[in-house]
Amino acid sequence: MEQQHQRQPLAGIKIVDLTRVLSGPFCTALLSDLGAEVIKVEPPGGDEYRHVGPFEQGESALFTLMNRNKKGVVADLKNPGHLARLLELVREADVLVENFKPGVAERLGVGFAAIKAINPDIIYASISGFGQQGESSGLPAYDLVVQAMSGIMAITGEPDGEPTKVGESIADLAAGLYASWAILAALFDRQRSGEGVHLDIAMLDCLFSLMPTPVAQWMFGGEAPGRVGNRHPLSTPFGSFNAADGRVIIAVLNNRQFAALCAVMGRPGLAQDARFGSDEARTRHEPALRDLIESWLSGHSVASAIASLAAAGIPASPVLDMGEVLARARQGERRLLRTQRHARLGEIPMMTQPVRASAWASPAPATAPALGEHDAELFRP
């Protein structure tokens, strides 16, 4: 039984990683967490994330997080000798991942056609802002640009405030996550078909696909939705409310939960009030219902309100700051942060993929590579 828990589902899969910054490195980090051998190929100056802080003894935290478990080599793809030794690596690879601006990989001699010519079974994943073809394909695409163009900024923020970015580079991360999912599907497909494939992953497409709620608001003839602040656009009460000493999240999705909330508030008759008789009606009368809830909460601390709501089976929570979240992430069985032995920094906390599997190994993540650390191992003289 103990041996069963040592399996790594991607053991034996070799991935050549030509990506940099966030979307591609996040994709390949997820695959390396599952046992794939990921060979990160960097230009002589290194991945841009090596030069983005915060730093500890010259080591970038972002680079370290996104390049765990990888081997690292240096190759100047404009140098014919370097390109030749990279292509030798690619001949034996299962997957190549790149996130160059469309057209750059071809100019460097590592486009899909060139790679397929030497490795017909290759799974070749291209991550870009707007896809490999089309009028927008050549546009530069940072996360903020894609957030702005996806509509997610237009629906985030207070109704009378500015469009607001999500507090993380969500477009990059969505593309990396979808790319890893697509690569896994392609590996499975290749087992059955015997053929490789070119995967075209656009950040804009991936972020749009994570917005079913605004699409649902629009799809049956409604207007395009706008910002509603910290509440749900379709369900009420489902948002953030003021208590005596902070804010409480209350998430009510059906009439049963609403009746329970009314009872906790000492106002059971509200459940029969025509203004609040359905989710749609409650949403139409959200301001009035908010006033009633916050009137009740004004006499309660966050902790006492949550205790009362939880006892009644009503989903509720405090709004934690990142300091509290990080402290919790280092504790408990889920271990969202795990200790890594870094060759230069000693013991440091490290993110890893969050899925738990009954029969897979879950080793502590290995350190990100130093620039060119595995040149001697992986490049033939």
Q: Is residue 232 annotated as part of the catalytic site, yes or no?
A: yes
Lowest mean pLDDT among 127-141, 155-169, 174-188: 127-141
Residue 160 has pLDDT above 60, yes or no: yes
Following DSSP, what letter does each residue of 118-150 receive, concatenated?
Answer: H-TT-EEEEEESS-SSSTTTTS---HHHHHHHH
Distance, CA of 115 to CA of 121 (rounded, Å): 10
- Axis crossing angle, helix 255-264 with helix 302-311, rounded to the nearest 10: 130
| pLDDT > 90 fraction of the chain, expressed in percent and rounded | 85
Cα(197)–Cα(134) distance, integer angstroms: 20
Top-level CATH class of 238-320? Answer: alpha beta
> 204 pairs with which residues across the strands?
none
Q: Is the pLDDT of residue 1 over 80?
A: no
DSSP string of 186-200?
Answer: HHHHHHHH---EEEE
Please tell me whether the peptide bond between 102 and the residue prior to it is cis, using omega within 30 degrees of 0.
no
d(C-alpha 233, C-alpha 325), whole Å: 26
pLDDT at 245: 96
- Please report, in angstroms and rounded to a whole number, the separation of the first and last CA atoms in the chain: 43
Active site residue: 5, 82, 198, 232, which one? 232
Q: What is the pTM of this model?
A: 0.93
Domain range summary for the chain, segments of one domain joined by +: 3-210+330-378, 238-320
Is the pLDDT at 333 greater than 80? The verdict is no
As assigned by CATH, the class of the 3-210+330-378 domain is alpha beta
User: Strand pairing of 197-202 and 55-56?
Assistant: unpaired
pLDDT tens-digit profile of 28-74?
A: 999 999 999 999 999 999 999 999 999 999 999 999 999 999 999 99
C-beta of residue 1 within 8 angstroms of C-beta of residue 7: no
Secondary structure E strands in 33-100? 37-42, 55-56, 59-60, 70-74, 95-98
Predicted confidence at residue 343, as pLDDT, reads 82
CA distance 48 to 205: 24
Question: For 12-39, what is the mean pLDDT?
Answer: 97
